[in-house]
Structure 1
Amino acid sequence: MDSIFKGQVALVTGGTKGIGKAIADTLKDKGAEVIVTARNTPEAGINGYYFIAADLTQPESAEMIAKEIIEKYGRIDIIVNNAGANLGPGGGYAALSDEDWYNDWQLNFMTAVRINKALLPTMINQNSGSIINISTGAAKQPIWDMTMSYSSAKAALNAYSKALASELGPKGIRVNVVSPGLVKTTLMLDFIENIAASSGSNFDDTFKAIMDKVGVPLNRMAEPLEVASLVAFLASPEAKYITGTNYSVDGGASPTV
């Protein structure tokens, strides 16, 4: 499978670190030309990727990104909407302001909607393409005191993805969702540190409390590459009859099949 994406162009939003970087690296290693977006160029630089600096929460960014990709490459084959984060404070409904709700929905839902809308005309003209929206297990198992606004935005992403798959299937375009659970990224580790600090606890005790609350039979966080490997499979021809599906990568945390 080393050159399975040769000749294909892939966009990975939020592709400079964490899960996004693992996805970008995996697609590149398998032959794709990969474009990554982030607000700022990483200090380590970008090697082997085409980088577009963009704040995806700004509505005009999607059209700018799409225009630059099509002008440079003339096509788009894979879109991975990975940009996202749990921005709202913990504490439940009373702790969330209108701005908290707005920010989580802008980053975790509307960014994907806008990117897809801007690039889909090209995919439709090609009569081919694969879109993979990165969601979260918390969309199905929201934690009221940690992920309320984030979970709701990602739940909307799940429903949108299913509807989009139904619309685009006849046009040769597949849409799937990957829902990670706890993944060992800098963002996740910082999230745990912040909860620990706000509760007067330490990292280890806070991590154990989260693991106990979520319930992970494999008893560890996922590595980013374990998510990226599934994304690469779903984008590949080997998954050409798979669309409209949501795959969990959560170590068995989901209580139902």
Structure 2
Amino acid sequence: MTPFVTLEGKRALITSGTRGAGAATVALFRELGAEVLTTARTKPDALPDELFIAADLTTPEGCAALASAVLARWGGVDIVVHMLGGSTAPPGGFGALGDAEWARARALDLNLMPAVRLDRELVPDMVARGDGVVVHVTSIQRVLPLPEATTAYAAAKAALSTYSKSLSKEIGPRGVRVVRVSPGWIETEAAVDLAERLGAEGGVEAGKRMIMQSLGGIPIGRPSTPDEVANLIAFLASARAGSITGAEYVIDGGTVPTA
């Protein structure tokens, strides 16, 4: 019996695939038959060497080196999943974000430019073949920013989403699909650590409640899991989603209010 979703024979580059939702996506793509490469600045001991290329994607040089290595290994790529993202900006709202803080946080260098640079290197081959999928992982923060903490990150993810939509309109007619996945709070290792710090004496569950309250609540009562995010990405990258392009799929347990 043919599985509902398969990625058999596909070559997939997944950035930031060493932990959290990225690691879950790498594992699922391999399970579904894809040949996978992932990247980060340092390789975890448990990750096989043949799956990993070390690169600092916050720099033009790092993106160029990764793209060159991927093309040297495979000659082209069928799926690119841009998982890289994050925030290092200080809390305190817009007033805390002077020019130096914007530069130090490198929000655009982390959340936007790696996708722009890698797409520029890898998408032309997809267009030439008339086939391929690009997945940009955005965030609900682009429509639900937390002013005290995530202004820079939210602005960068909004830029990524707009760039992704524009790219989809340009290359969709040439056979290459571009989709966005917009997670809310994901229960990663880092999220659990944050919950432990916030919860203090109340423990992890108290910290989780604090985070959910800061988001205005999560109707399903819990964050998404890395595996749930990976499941959505795999479906969108598969032939089952063959007519889907230019769209953004929110996976947030109902956090963002909708009409």
Question: TM-score range, shorter-chain basis?
Answer: over 0.9
Residue correspondence of structure 1 range 156-175 to structure 2 within 5 A: 156-175=159-178
Specify the code of the residue in structure 2 equivalent to 1:21. A
**Equivalent residue, structure 2, for 1:56:** 57
Change (3 A) 1:202 1:3: closer
Cα distance in structure 1, aligned partners of 2:150 and 2:110: 14
Does the Cα contact within 8 Å between 2:199 and 2:210 map onto a contact in 1?
Answer: no
Question: How far did residue 125 of structure 1 move?
Answer: 1.6
Residues 200-233 of structure 1: CA deviation (Å, up to 9, x unaligned)? 9975544322212312000101110000000000
Cα distance in structure 1, aligned partners of 2:100 and 2:185: 26
Residues 117-159 of structure 1: CA deviation (Å, up to 9, x unaligned)? 1111111121111000111111110010121110010011111
Specify the code of the residue in structure 2 equivalent to 1:53. A
Q: Secondary structure at the match of 2:18?
A: coil
Indicate the larger mover: 56-65 or 219-228. Answer: 56-65
Change (3 A) 1:35 1:99: farther
State the Cα RMSD in Å.
Answer: 2.0
Does the Cα contact within 8 Å between 1:3 and 1:31 map onto a contact in 2?
Answer: no
Cα distance in structure 2, aligned partners of 1:153 and 1:234: 23
Change (3 A) 1:120 1:10: same
Q: Specify every segment of 5 or more residues in structure 2 that has no aligned partner in the other structure, as ranges.
A: none
Q: Specify every segment of 5 or more residues in structure 1 that has no aligned partner in the other structure, as ranges.
A: none
**Equivalent residue, structure 1, for 2:77:** 76
TM-score by length of 2: 0.91
Residue correspondence of structure 1 range 132-211 to structure 2 within 5 A: 132-192=135-195, 204-211=205-212
Please point out which of 4, 15, 25 is paired with 2:6. Answer: 4
Cα distance in structure 1, aligned partners of 2:55 and 2:49: 19
Q: Secondary structure at the match of 2:13?
A: strand
**Equivalent residue, structure 1, for 2:249:** 247
Residue correspondence of structure 1 range 17-96 to structure 2 within 5 A: 17-44=19-46, 46-47=47-48, 49-96=50-97
Question: How far did residue 70 of structure 1 move?
Answer: 1.3
Cα distance in structure 2, aligned partners of 1:114 and 1:195: 36
Count residues with an aligned counterpart.
254
Cα distance in structure 2, aligned partners of 1:3 and 1:72: 26
Please point out which of 120, 123, 127 is paired with 2:123. Answer: 120
TM-score by length of 1: 0.92
Report percent identity of matched pairs: 40
